[in-house]
Structure 1
Amino acid sequence: MALKATIFKADIQIADMDRAHYADYSLTLARHPSETDERMMVRLLAFALFAHPALVFARGLSVDDEPGLWQLDLTGRIERWIDVGQPDEKWLRKACGRADEVVVLSYGRGLDVWWNGVREKLARQSSLRVIEIAREASADLARLAERSMRLQFSIQDGGVWVTNGRDNVQIEPRWLQGGERS
């Protein structure tokens, strides 16, 4: 019998001074049985960094053809494709052909090895942006994971502060490829 996804509820407040985006979201995240709390929380961080009314969690790990998050326009065109981790270089090139913008939030062990292996192959992908989340920051973020979460994300000058009211995590995303957020 196949294992089922674990459902997490997240009420998040976003104060993004860099983009002048201030909003509250009530989100439901399905954590795939093979997904860790760390990966799920990096997906939530990706949502906060690129928050938009049309940005939604896709089926990601459950479906080969979908990222962790995506933003579609009213016609179904993919405006923004967001994935987390260390995706395959061929998969990213395919995503760049399908979406206006592709963003990867990379984190965890082996990040340097992955990036050194794909950097030159992906350099010509002008729609690709790759962001590194420090290993310590993603691990700290994972410790905030609860089945029912209330989190506040404050974003200013490229830095992110996350709190659940008891614990705080500071994240300094580092751009490996592409420009700043829009």
Structure 2
Amino acid sequence: MAAGATIHTFTVQLADLDRGVYADPVLRVARHPSETDTYMLTRVLAYCLEYENGIDFTAGISATDEPAILVKDPTGSVLAWIEIGAPDAKRLHTGSKLAERTAVYTFRDPAKLVAGWAGKPMHRGADIPVHSFDPGFVERAAAAIERRNELTVSVTEGHVYLELNGASFDSPIHTVSAA
């Protein structure tokens, strides 16, 4: 945990009908002093949308050689490398070589991200999905964050529905290829 990090707790009820995943994780999220609520909520959403056995937050912003989220099997092999925000092409290249699959979750304009990666080497770039939400969705939801949070995440037909501390939000999940 980074020095000066603020701990936020998310008691989650997850129902991802698209993947058949149902879980009730309690997440203790260390928010680095330089991390915005929007970035932190995108990390939490990515965790929920990628939820499976072996998923875990890494040191995040504090780490230069790890993504925000990793999924490992019991032997320690990296199954998924999940980046948040606007990672550079080099990180995606590295992640795609190390993991069976790589994904990006962003609250930024995905077209601008993909354009910034054009012409740069990226292992299996066409296989890396870049997931985003409607403009303003994450920012509006992030305004409801407190230190202790009750979060319900439901996913159906490519649409995410959130209830965060009594406030409701929804957005389609948009996906484009990194290359």
Instruction: Provide TM-score, normalisation by structure 2.
Output: 0.90
Q: Which residue of 1 aligns with 2:116?
A: 117
TM-fit CA distance, 1:53? 2.7
Superposed displacement of residue 165, structure 1? 5.3
How much does 1:60 deviate?
1.4
Partner of 2:161: 161
Q: Counterpart of 1:6? A: 6
Using the TM superposition, give the Cα deviation of residue 134 of structure 1 relative to its aligned residue in structure 2, in angstroms: 2.8
- Contact kept? 2:127, 2:177, Cα under 8 Å: no
The gaps in structure 1 that reach 5 residues or longer are none
Query: How far apart, CA to CA, are the structure 2 residues paired with 1:96 and 1:123?
Result: 6
Kindly report which structure 2 residues correspond to 1:69-148, keeping only aligned pairs within 5 A, or say none. Answer: 69-108=69-108, 111-119=110-118, 121=120, 122=122, 124-148=124-148
Amino acid at match of 2:28: T
Q: Residue by residue, what CA displacement relative to the aligned partner does 1:106-152 show, whole Å, maximum 9, x if unpaired?
A: 223x6543321214544842542211223311112211211100110
Partner of 1:17: 17
Matched residue count: 176
The worse-fitting range, judged by mean Cα deviation, of 167-176 and 134-143 is 134-143
1:42 and 1:141 in contact (8 A); partners too:
no
3-state DSSP of counterpart to 2:10: strand
Alpha-carbon distance in 2 for matches of 1:96, 1:127:
9
Q: Which moved more, 1:133-142 or 1:115-124?
A: 115-124
Q: Distance in 2 between matches of 1:100 and 1:41?
A: 25
The answer to whether the Cα contact below 8 Å between 1:4 and 1:32 also exists between their aligned partners in 2 is yes
Give 5+ residue unaligned stretches, structure 2: none
In the aligned structure 2, how far is the partner of 1:118 from the partner of 1:11?
A: 36
List structure 1 runs of 4+ shifted beyond 6 angstroms.
Answer: none
From the superposition, tell whether residues 17 and 107 of structure 1 become closer, same or farther in structure 2 (CA, over 3 Å).
Answer: same
Label 1:128 to 1:60 Cα distance change in 2 as closer, same or farther (>3 A): same
Q: What TM-score, normalized by structure 1, do the two folds share?
A: 0.89
